[in-house]
């Protein structure tokens, strides 16, 4: 959890939130950062909020970049960038919130990095970086770089070496509170899952017998509360692997069609409640795949124009509350495809620059994000303990749901004023053991929808006695009563 270490009770927190100051509305324009290979400069394209962009070099240094990720590395509420490179040192670029970056190399042992993901890997509140690396020269293990909160990193190898990891995604794939990693492996090597121990160490095992993936994305593809993985496969059908909540996966083809897929992103593209996928294809038209909620997809071309796409990111770049797709293209102008909310897209070149883009990330680098919400969930001594961290720069509505016995219940909906500085607090709810418990919290705006959201799960103690499940309605009543009692204190 980031922010203050001291915690308030929920009632005290709501009382403190009522004393908010005047709203400070952050920019809602989404920008995109492109990593470029083959001796070209990385670049940043500033969004106008209408789906168009104005682009410039990220820095003057020329690198063979293969992956980019954005996040606040030094606690100034501005988005920073980490760049994975296949030659020389990886790069960190600290943003000033106005679109300017100060970039430096770090980690002498970081050669042949192909992708990077950011997350809170160890127990401190500073963002860390996980690098996928390897082929074609060395059989290197993944590399973890633990952030110091000032933009610096302490790096070391972790897990086990492989023939070459091309993509990485971070998420909670088992029942413990430590971030895990899923690796897309190339050249006949099985994809891997690496379970984190909360200190920066990971234990990696084969995820299944799927081989030859270039990229991976994590999300809740089916109806259970366990993270799933979708792989972009360059030779054959793309793959979906449904998680079981213990770090295991059951894998199958995402669809019957085979494409030269090099990148994947997940999001709710149409009006349905389940996740969909967009695939970047290096040898044909890019694809949109609408999920069916049980792990299958129905796919079609996004655009009739085939492009040599290397990666894809999804975000609402024109403010219409519909997800759009941005493609990084190799020796071809990068593309933006505006979604219509029904699975259709209207695509155009971002500009005429044909530099060899290898990767793309979306972030608002021109202003701090409108809000931050974090949620911790634990079960201690018969009580469900929820730890919250909230920061908002405009008025929002705070929503909380709990999932018990595979049923999701709305628990709390409260208007929030501006919350700055951030606020951390806890709520403890008496709860009998019901197996896995999930929580989802969001901060929403009536015109822009969900601004921030986070989901997590915890394992309660086993049911005692006969093992008969408790009455769900009674559990819901007890939890809602307890949270509202705390809110009134």
R_g over Cα of the chain: 22
As a whole number of angstroms, the distance between CA 321 and CA 109 comes to 42
pLDDT recorded at residue 110? 66
Closest by CA position to 8, among listed 360, 102, 19: 19
pTM: 0.72
pLDDT recorded at residue 135? 62
Burial 153-171 (b: 16+ CB within 10 A, else e): bebeebbeebbbbbbbbbb
pLDDT digits (tens, 9 = 90+) for 398-436: 888 877 766 777 877 888 888 867 788 777 777 766 667
State the first-to-last Cα distance of the chain, in angstroms, to the nearest integer.
24
pLDDT recorded at residue 405? 67
Enter the tokens of residue 30: 């989404």
- The half-sphere exposure of 421 on its side-chain side, counting CA atoms within 13 A, is 6
pLDDT digits (tens, 9 = 90+) for 165-224: 999 999 999 989 899 999 999 877 899 999 999 999 999 999 987 777 999 999 999 988
Q: Which of 109-123, 404-418, 442-456 shows the highest mean pLDDT? A: 109-123
The Cα-based distances of 249 to 60, 159, 213, 219 in angstroms read: 43, 19, 16, 13
pLDDT digits (tens, 9 = 90+) for 54-83: 898 999 888 889 999 999 999 988 899 999
Are 162 and 139 spatial neighbours (Cβ–Cβ below 8 Å)? yes
pLDDT recorded at residue 478? 59
Q: What is the mean pLDDT of the chain?
A: 83
pLDDT recorded at residue 367? 54
pLDDT band at 90 (very low <50, low <70, confident <90, very high): very high
As a whole number of angstroms, the distance between CA 243 and CA 225 comes to 9
Quick one: what percent of the chain has pLDDT higher than 90?
A: 46
Pick the more confident residue, 455 or 280: 280
pLDDT recorded at residue 489? 47
pLDDT digits (tens, 9 = 90+) for 251-309: 999 988 888 899 999 999 997 888 999 999 998 899 999 999 999 999 999 988 888 99
Pick the more confident residue, 114 or 29: 114
């Amino acid at each position: 959890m980031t922010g203050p270490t001291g915690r308030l009770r929920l009632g005290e927190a709501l009382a403190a939130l009522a004393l908010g100051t005047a709203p400070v509305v952050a920019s809602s324009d989404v920008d995109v950062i492109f990593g470029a290979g083959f001796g070209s400069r990385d670049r940043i394209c500033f969004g106008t909020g209408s789906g168009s962009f104005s682009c410039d070099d990220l820095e003057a240094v020329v690198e063979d970049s293969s992956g980019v990720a954005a996040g606040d590395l030094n606690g100034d509420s501005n988005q920073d960038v980490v760049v994975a490179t296949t030659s020389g040192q990886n790069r960190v670029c600290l943003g000033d919130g106005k679109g300017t970056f100060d970039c430096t190399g770090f980690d002498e042992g970081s050669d042949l990095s192909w992708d990077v993901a950011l997350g809170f890997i160890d127990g401190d509140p500073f963002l860390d970086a996980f690098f996928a690396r390897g082929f074609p020269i060395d059989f290197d293990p993944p590399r973890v770089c633990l952030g110091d909160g000032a933009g610096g990193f302490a790096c070391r190898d972790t897990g086990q070496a492989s023939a070459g990891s091309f993509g990485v995604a971070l998420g909670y794939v088992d029942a413990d509170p430590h971030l895990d990693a899923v690796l897309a492996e190339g050249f006949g090597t099985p994809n891997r899952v690496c379970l984190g121990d909360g200190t920066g160490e990971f234990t990696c095992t084969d995820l299944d017998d799927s081989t030859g993936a270039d990229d991976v994305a994590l999300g809740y593809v089916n109806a259970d509360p366990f993270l799933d993985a979708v792989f972009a496969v360059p030779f054959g059908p793309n793959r979906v692997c449904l998680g079981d909540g213990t770090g295991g996966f059951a894998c199958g083809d995402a669809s019957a069609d085979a494409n030269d897929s090099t990148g994947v992103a997940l999001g709710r593209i149409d009006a349905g409640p389940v996740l969909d996928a967009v695939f970047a294809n290096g040898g044909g038209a890019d694809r949109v795949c609408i999920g069916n909620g049980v792990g299958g997809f129905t796919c079609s071309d996004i655009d009739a124009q085939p492009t040599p796409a290397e990666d894809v990111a999804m975000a609402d770049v024109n403010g219409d509350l519909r997800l759009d797709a941005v493609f990084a293209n190799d020796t071809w102008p990068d593309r933006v495809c505006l979604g219509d909310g029904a699975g259709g897209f209207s695509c155009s070149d971002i500009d005429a620059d044909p530099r060899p883009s290898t990767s793309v990330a979306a972030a608002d680098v021109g202003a701090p994000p409108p809000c931050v919400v974090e949620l911790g969930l634990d079960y201690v001594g018969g009580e469900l303990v929820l730890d919250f961290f909230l920061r908002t720069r405009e008025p929002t509505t705070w929503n909380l749901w709990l999932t018990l016995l595979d049923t999701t219940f709305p628990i709390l909906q409260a208007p929030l004023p501006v919350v700055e500085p951030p606020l951390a607090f806890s709520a403890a709810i008496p709860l009998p053991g019901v197996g896995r418990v999930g929580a989802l919290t969001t901060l929403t705006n009536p015109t822009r929808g969900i601004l921030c959201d986070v989901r997590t799960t915890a394992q309660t103690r086993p049911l005692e006695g006969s093992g008969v499940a408790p009455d769900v309605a009674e559990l819901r009543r007890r939890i809602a009563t307890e949270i509202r009692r705390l809110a009134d204190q």
